[in-house]
Amino acid sequence: MLKKRIIICLDVKDGRTTKGVKFLNNVDIGDPVDMAAEYYKQGVDELVFYDIMASARGRGPILDLIARVASQVFIPFCVGGGIGTIDDIRSTILAGAEKISLNSQAVKNPDLIKQGAKIFGNQCIVLGMDAKRDESMKSGYRVYINGGRVATELDALDWAVQAVKLGAGEIVLNSIDADGTRQGYELTLTKLISEHTEVPIIASGGGGTSGHLAEVLTSAKADAALIASMVHSGEYTVGSIKKDLAKMGVPVRLDF
């Protein structure tokens, strides 16, 4: 049986790790390099680094910071934020990332997914999607870009299916409604996209307890759960979460 993955997200603003609720009121919580090293020691399966202001400010990735974080972890490392060209993808991989998350830039230029997958392989190209409940959309969810600031006309399910056809090898599905609330993941949308695509789905937004992770990894059929607040707060460690999940019958990697 495939193990379920626990992934920690470092949202980075101005070179520092930050955390907010529903993409608002972000506060500084530490140095991303030090935090990456600590979570690696704790046994996290993968690490995601998002530069949350890069697209909004119209700039590319911060390569020196990416390289410093990559030097501390020896697990899959995904980077997103401001990656808008093939050269950006190449330079980010050369800085130490194994995967590239395309979010706003993929919406603005879907061909970037196709070209990125063709050159670097589907396994390198991750669709990052920020979605919010909207009854006017076919699936009930609308896609947002620029760190959740700008609404698009894209339906979340339609965009997920299209992105996979273009070559995305994985989807990080972030619920704006649940982000930072620690009240549980967006189960309905996660299950919907899991059932209509054939790539791994990483649930993001709302994780607050080990039970929330167990729920999204089983009933909503997510392949991985992305967490931030629950470990950044110090209430949980990666190890304590994994032990809880194992007791609940969720297959996770415990060799750390």
DSSP per position, 35-52: HHHHHHHHT-SEEEEEET
Q: How far apart are CA 27 and CA 138, in angstroms?
A: 35
Q: Of the given ranges (7-11, 23-27, 28-32, 238-242), which has the lowest mean pLDDT?
A: 23-27
11 catalytic? Reply is yes
CATH architecture under which domain 5-247 falls: Alpha-Beta Barrel (3.20)
CA angle 145, 33, 177 (to 5 degrees): 30
Between residues 15 and 73, the one the model is more confident about? 73
- Catalytic-role residue among 11, 45, 51, 88: 11
130 catalytic? Reply is yes
Supply the mean pLDDT for the chain.
Answer: 93
Neighbours of 98 (CB within 10 A): 15
- Catalytic-role residue among 45, 51, 88, 130: 130
Q: How far apart are CA 241 and CA 252, in angstroms?
A: 10
pLDDT at 222 (0 to 100): 98
- The long-range contacts involving 20-28, CB below 8 angstroms and separated by at least 24 positions, are 20/179, 20/180, 21/179, 21/180, 21/181, 22/148, 22/176, 22/177, 22/179, 22/180, 22/181, 23/130, 23/147, 23/148, 23/149, 23/176, 23/179, 23/180, 26/52
Tell me if 54 sits within 8 A of 61, measured CB to CB.
yes
pLDDT at 25 (0 to 100): 56
Helix axes 32-42, 238-247, angle to 10 degrees: 40
pTM of the model: 0.92
Average the pLDDT over 164-191 and give the result: 95
pLDDT tens profile 73-122:
999 999 998 899 999 999 999 999 999 999 999 999 999 999 999 999 99
Report whether pLDDT(23) > 60. no
pLDDT at 73 (0 to 100): 95
Report whether pLDDT(14) > 90. no
Query: Is 152 in a helix, a strand, or coil?
Result: strand
